[in-house]
């Protein structure tokens, strides 16, 4: 019987020894597998000798940009939210020692359910549960936005200054570091967004809140919220803007990222916005700005993903970097058209 090859980014002997010493109840040996679907930080599932399944997150094996892929940040957020109504994977252990496997990483409980990452997943999900899944997505977002960061021990992570201003500065810098194919377009959108920034508020912002980063039970209940890599503090409408920018309706030509929402039974964008406004009492009049902002941000993120795949540091999962580069440019152009409509 041959031993399966180690997935990229995992030094199996060293990681196995660390897990045995630091994860309560773990029974070695463990077997690792790379969970598909991640385009930034890497997620692995692993099963111990007792059959217990857990998950491990670490940065990419290369192409890591400044301020991105921060494992400590992800760990802080899921640890802080573990005892709130927000369903996060149980935090189990954090490793800051980069000698173990080349980067810091953390371990969490494995959450069962269905990730609605694309239209095919939406069509495979029970049709009678699709509306409930959409409504629970909004209700989970609202629960997150009701959490007071000071009450859950995150005060020291709150940065001064406006959220959008920080995000514009960060992603503008990173898209230049990635080397997008049409930087002049990215610059123009950046300048237009900067000139029209709303004042905004301060709350916990997940940064990538969409069905592809959530897990659902068959009845549509959200069982887990994943991928806290982009979590920060700022205007919660930014999360809603991101969700709406990715929530495609039949006939749409472009969405920021694939999702399940064109399958029959999922409500449209207006229904989601209305439910959020009712659940939170939020004035959503600035939402169109945040949708445009998030289209540009999605393009910046996509440019980074393309760059990492072209550099060969994300493994081989049939990702077509050249085709995706065209999608990235179209996203940026869409953001420019939307922000111009606000004038």
Segment 285-305, tens digit of pLDDT: 999 999 999 999 989 988 888
CA dihedral of 132, 87, 121, 55, whole degrees rounded to 10: -160
Q: Is 283 exposed, middle or buried (0-12, 13-18, 19+ CB in 10 A)?
A: exposed
Q: How far apart are CA 153 and CA 341, in angstroms?
A: 40
Residue 88 has pLDDT above 50, yes or no: yes
Please determine, looking at this structure, whether the domain spanning 119-341 carries the CATH number 3.40.50.720: no
Q: What is the assigned CATH class of domain 25-109?
A: alpha beta
Query: Could you tell me the end-to-end alpha-carbon distance of the chain, in angstroms, rounded to an integer?
Result: 66
Residue 1 has pLDDT above 50, yes or no: no
Residue 113: left if φ>0, alpha if ψ -120 to 50, beta else—which one?
left
Asked, as a colleague might, if the bond just before 303 is cis with ω within 30 of 0, I would say no
| In the chain, where the domains are located | 25-109, 119-341
Q: pLDDT confidence of 235, banded at 50, 70, 90?
A: very high
In degrees, to the nearest 5, what angle opens at C-alpha 305 toward C-alphas 38 and 66?
100
Pairwise pLDDT comparison (294 vs 310), residue with the higher score? 294
Residue 60 has pLDDT above 50, yes or no: yes
What is the per-residue pLDDT for 325? 76
Secondary structure of residue 108 in the 3-state scheme: strand
């Amino acid at each position: 019987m041959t031993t399966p090859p180690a997935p990229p980014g995992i030094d199996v002997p060293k990681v196995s020894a660390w897990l045995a010493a630091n994860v309560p109840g773990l029974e070695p040996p463990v077997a690792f597998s790379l969970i598909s679907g991640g385009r930034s930080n890497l997620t692995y599932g692993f099963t111990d000798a007792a059959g217990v399944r857990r998950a491990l997150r670490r940065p990419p094996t290369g192409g890591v940009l400044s301020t991105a892929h921060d494992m400590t940040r992800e760990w802080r957020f899921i640890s802080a939210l573990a005892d709130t109504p927000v369903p996060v994977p149980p935090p189990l252990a954090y490793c800051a020692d980069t000698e173990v496997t080349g980067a810091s990483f953390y371990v969490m409980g494995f959450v069962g359910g269905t990730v609605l990452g694309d239209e095919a997943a939406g069509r495979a999900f029970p049709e009678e549960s699709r509306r409930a899944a959409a409504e629970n997505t909004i209700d989970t977002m609202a629960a997150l936005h009701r959490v007071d960061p000071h009450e859950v021990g995150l005060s020291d992570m709150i940065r001064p200054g406006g959220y959008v201003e920080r995000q514009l500065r960060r992603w503008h810098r990173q898209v230049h570091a990635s080397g997008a194919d049409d930087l002049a377009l990215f610059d123009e959108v950046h300048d237009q967004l900067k000139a029209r920034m709303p004042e905004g508020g301060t709350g916990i912002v997940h940064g990538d809140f969409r069905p592809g980063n959530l897990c659902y039970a068959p009845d549509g209940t959200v069982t887990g919220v994943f991928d806290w890599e982009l979590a920060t503090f700022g205007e919660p409408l930014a999360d809603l803007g991101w969700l709406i920018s990715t929530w495609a309706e039949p006939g749409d030509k472009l969405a920021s990222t694939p999702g399940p929402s064109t399958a029959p039974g999922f409500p449209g964008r207006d229904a989601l916005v209305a439910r959020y406004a009712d659940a939170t009492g939020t004035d959503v009049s600035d939402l169109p700005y945040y949708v445009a902002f998030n289209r540009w941000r999605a393009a910046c993120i996509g440019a980074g993903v393309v760059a990492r795949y072209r550099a060969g540091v994300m493994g081989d999962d049939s990702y077509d970097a050249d085709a995706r580069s065209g999608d990235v440019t179209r996203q940026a152009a869409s953001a420019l058209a939307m922000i111009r409509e606000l004038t």
